[in-house]
A = this chain, B = another copy of it.
Amino acid sequence: MPRPREFDEECVVAAIREVFWDKGYAATSVDDLMRASGLGKGSLYGAFGDKHRLFLRVLREYNDTNDRVLRERLASASRAVHFVREFVHGPSRDSTGASAQRGCLLANSTAELATSMPDVAAEARRSYDATAEILTEAIERARREGDVDPGVDADQVAYAVLAAQLGVVALGRTGMGVGALASVAESALTRLLPSPGHE
């Protein structure tokens, strides 16, 4: 009975995500969002509420997708240790360095907004905890598969690996070359995940 929507909600969220990702929250105007999505202000506000709620929606979807992808990659990895290595090296896997410099929407948003928007901080924490959980599973599996020293406490190391990856992401934002970035990641990895033969 009602008039049907002329846009696909997911496409709009995706387009808007790119803008927030590129410019940050405060530097993005509602006009930018209208242009990127092709929607009028009325449609945007009707469907998503104000800028703040729209941003939170984008961020949550981004995090959920990331978590899902990580789980899938772990499930389909031949060896769990490859998954962990790929996770830390992620930011340096770019021939041009453009995506490395762009960083991670979650990391960027947390740094910009955690103080003034508690819900962003909470969402970030939730997502990081989920990631750490996946990493814990991966490290446990890698231990069983004989690729990681059995003495390591998977839960403890998981957060250290996560911190290292966040650090690599942060360094990537400075424009550090992907080669240097990869060697930082590698340096952290070899020490955080000692092979079984090393004792």
Contact = CB atoms under 8 A, between A and B. Distances in A.
Interface of A: 22-27, 101-103, 107-108, 110-116, 118, 121-122, 124-125, 128, 153, 156-157, 159-160, 162-168, 170-171, 173-176, 183-185, 187-188, 191-192, 194
Contact of A188 (B153, B176, B185, B192): B192
Contacts of A157: 187, 191
A111 to B, nearest CB: 3
Given A101-B114, A111-B107, A184 B160 contact: yes
A164 B171 contact: no
Contacts of A162: 167, 171
Contact of A124 (B108, B125, B173, B183): B173
A139 to B, nearest CB: 12
A24 B23 contact: no
B174 A160 contact: no
Q: Is the interface of A mostly helix, strand, loop or mixed?
A: helix
A80 to B, nearest CB: 18
A163 B174 contact: no
Ordered nearest first, which 5 A-B pairs have the shortest CB separation? A163-B167, A111-B111, A26-B26, A166-B167, A125-B174
Copies of this protein, total: 2
A175 B111 contact: no
Given A122-B174, A160-B164, 13 more contacts: A23-B116, A24-B113, A111-B112, A112-B112, A157-B187, A157-B191, A160-B191, A163-B167, A163-B170, A163-B171, A163-B184, A166-B167, A167-B167
Contacts of A192: 188, 191-192
Nearest to A88: B163
B173 A110 contact: yes
Nearest to A109: B111
A121 B188 CA distance: 23
Contacts of A194: 191
